[in-house]
Amino acid sequence: MKKILFSINTFLVAALFISSCTKKLDILPEGSPTTTNFWKTATDAQKGVNAMYEQFDGEEFYGRGFMWYINASDDMVTGRSNAKAESVKNFDLATSGVSYLTDQWKMRYVVIKRANDVIRNLPNIEMDESTRSRLIGEAYFLRALMYFQLTYNYANDKAGVPIVTEADFENSSAIPRAASASENYAMIESDFKTASALLPYFDTYSPDYYGHTHKDAALAYLSKVYLYEKKYAEAEAYADSVINSGKHALLTNFADVFTVENNWSTEYIWSAYSTAAGTGGWGSILPGVMLENKGWGLYNGWGYYTPTKELYDAYESGDARREATILKPGDTFEFFGSTMTYSSVNSTSGYQFRKYMDPFRHSDPVSTYISPNGDHPTTALNPPLLRYAEIILIKAEAMLMQGKNADEYINMIRNRAGLPSVTNADMAELKKQRRSEFAGEWADRHRDLVRWGDAQAAYAQPLHGYDGSVIWPARTFNPDVNNVWPVPQTEIESSGGVIKQNAGW
């Protein structure tokens, strides 16, 4: 059985140990090593590396909390009445104290701290050199990824996020924010490059190591980092490093991307590793969060993040992605082994995202495909965080921004969706394809609108439900303030004011 075990002591949540052969992940206490008896052996090294992933099981990490940021977009609404979520979507000043978001910053710095422990301690352990390199590579990758997520959510040219490295292990004082996001991005680039040099390709891993970082993901994220920085030549070059590796390909059928059977397909690059096994499952709860509230009496869906009519209408006629992405009233689908006709008594919009429904289609899914704990509704489906289709569109966007023709890459995405090829595609076409391809995913429609400069105009329009009624009023988005989210107020207070709030929040 595969198990992840972790240990906690004053200085270190130390251990997650993976042993053999199923997709079950159990989190079990394993004692309390001290700083004097840990970081001594190769087993300690693996446990310390596994500990970096422990936060990924948090409800707010890749489940509900992080998606509130993406929920700000025009693609979705909160789904059911929730005053705290409404504050976030409306960019209210109260956002800095919303409980769903207060742990986003903290959880990622926990991962960074554990990555720093690995980077600092593993060089001193006697162990196989290739294994050491891989494990240190995992730490550099996760540190870079956490800083990337922190930076694009909280940092801009006015202030970055605090930079904490392995050299700060004895520093117990609060560290002030970097001068700007540029300082953070310089470190992120460096860490991803180091990770890509140390990590092997995913296809060298045995199944019992799936879910760990790998070279493909590091190269892919470098491409996305450069895109966000508007360094388009570099974004294109790193997209090419993934494309030209020959290790990835689009699946023929778009809907197949979102099936348990294809968790590790050629389209996989990096996902929120999840399982239904154990008493409460492990990993991302997003599929259960998006499921109809109370799951038509069969499972405890939460009913959040429902699509808007604006999203539904954005798809071209004949685009196979629309029906694979969205359930509308009257659509049929499989649920707990039966064919059902979609309707909702509580969805704000009248729609539901369909992308993550595969685990719920089976006749007896509990404990095999969905968690037995509806209050922690993980599934056996790994929600994609970055998949190959995004690398194709990063390549296309980077080319367009350099004045190049990107038809070959845009048409790869269009053709897979059942749409005809276009010629001389422009940024409007690129934007449409990103929206249609990644709706409801972590690719982050909100962040796209912000970085393109489109958020203010988009959010000045009301949002509509299936019946055409307004379900969310127009919002005021100030690009000089709302281009970043507020630092959680708890972090400002716990730092004694050393960490400052973003201007305007």
Quick check: is 443 in a domain? yes
At residue 478, what is the residue type?
N
What's the whole-model pTM score? 0.93
pLDDT at residue 18 in the model: 33
Torsional sign, CA 470, 472, 474, 479: negative
Residue 379 lies in a domain: no
According to DSSP, the residues that pair with 413 across neighbouring strands are none
Q: The dihedral of CA 316, 441, 232, 409: what is its sign?
A: negative
Taking 60 as the threshold, does the pLDDT of residue 455 lie above it?
A: yes
Co-location of 291 and 219 in the same domain: no
Q: Does 22 fall in a domain?
A: yes
Q: What CATH number corresponds to the domain at position 219?
A: 1.25.40.390
Average pLDDT, the chain: 92
Does the residue 373 lie in any domain? no
**263: domain range?**
4-275+384-494
Q: Are residues 29 and 127 in the same domain?
A: yes
Would residue 499 count as lying in a domain? no
Three-state DSSP at 162 gives coil
The mean pLDDT of 116-132, rounded to a whole number, is 97
Q: What are the tens digits of pLDDT across the range 416-446? A: 999 999 999 999 999 999 999 999 999 999 9
Identify whether residues 262 and 339 lie together within a single domain.
no
Give the separation between CA 423 and CA 74, rounded to whole angstroms.
28
pLDDT of residue 170: 83
Question: What pLDDT, on the 0 to 100 scale, is given for residue 171?
Answer: 85
Confidence tier at 92 by pLDDT (50, 70, 90): very high
Q: Give the pLDDT band of residue 32 (cuts 50, 70, 90).
A: very low
Tell me: do 409 and 486 sit in the same domain: yes
Cβ neighbours of residue 368 closer than 8 Å, sequence gap 6 or more: 276, 362, 380
The pLDDT, as a whole number, for residue 2 is 34
**CA-based Rg of the chain, rounded to a whole angstrom?**
22
pLDDT range class, residue 414, cuts 50, 70, 90 = very high
User: In this predicted model, what pLDDT tens digit does every residue of 9-31 receive, in sequence order?
Assistant: 323 333 333 332 233 322 222 33
Q: Quick: pLDDT tens for 389-404.
A: 999 999 999 999 999 9
In a domain, 367, yes or no: no
Give a yes or no: residue 504 inside a domain. Answer: no
pLDDT band at 385; cut points 50, 70, 90: very high
The answer on 352 and 267 residing in a single domain is no
Q: List, for residues 155-195, the tens digit of each pLDDT value.
A: 999 999 999 999 988 888 999 999 999 999 999 999 999 99
- pLDDT tier for residue 35 given thresholds of 50, 70 and 90: low
Q: What is the bridge-based pairing of β-strands 27-29 and 4-6?
A: parallel
Number of domains in the chain: 2
Last residue of a domain, one of 361, 396, 412: 361
